[in-house]
């Protein structure tokens, strides 16, 4: 059993697709093990995306991530890191496969509605960034 971190980003919350995103997870055998709604500060967004701090889009990305509330979740299931990435679709929504969350709801390479950890080590860091062990059920 594997765990990963998902975030419904501010553009997903604004589009009112929280239920739709969770529905797709559950329909694909993924269990929500923790969930909350938060509104990040710029500093919190910078800490979360610290691996991207040298990227030209870092400032814009962290502004976007604190532009409104978002919904971090811990997802659990067999092979859930890869399964979640598959349901999300490619980072650039123009390259995302039909039927993926980003194909259906993203509006730019930045506003791409969901985040998902890409490996076990990043999943562990990212889950710990938002949740303590008592909040994961």
Please name the helix (run of DSSP H) or strand (run of DSSP E) that holds residue 31, with its range, or none.
strand 31-35
Q: Is 52 a catalytic residue?
A: no
Which 58-77 positions form the footprint of ligand GDP (CB under 6 A)? 60-61
Among 68, 69, 118, 124, binds ligand GDP (CB under 6 A): 118
Whether the CB-CB separation of 10 and 69 falls below 8 Å is answered with yes
Among 5, 35, 112, 113, binds ligand GDP (CB under 6 A): 112
In sequence order, the 6+-apart residues with CB closer than 8 A to the CB of 66 are 10, 39, 40, 41, 42, 44, 45
Provide the minimum distance between the beta carbon of 105 and ligand GDP in the complex, in angstroms, as a whole number: 13
Positions touching ligand GDP (CB under 6 A) are: 57, 60-61, 91, 109-110, 112, 115, 118
């Amino acid at each position: 059993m594997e765990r990963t971190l998902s975030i419904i980003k501010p553009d997903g919350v604004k589009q009112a697709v929280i239920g739709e995103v969770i529905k797709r997870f559950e329909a694909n055998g993924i269990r929500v093990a923790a969930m909350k709604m938060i509104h990040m500060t710029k500093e919190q967004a910078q800490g979360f995306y610290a691996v991207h701090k040298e990227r030209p889009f870092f400032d814009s990305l962290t502004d976007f991530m604190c532009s409104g509330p978002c919904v971090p979740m811990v997802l659990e299931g067999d092979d859930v890191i890869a399964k979640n990435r598959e349901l999300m679709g490619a980072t650039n929504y123009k390259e995302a496969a039909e039927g993926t969350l980003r194909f259906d709801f993203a509006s730019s390479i930045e506003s791409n509605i969901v985040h998902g950890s890409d490996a076990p080590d990043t999943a562990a860091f990212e889950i710990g960034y938002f949740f303590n062990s008592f909040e994961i059920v």
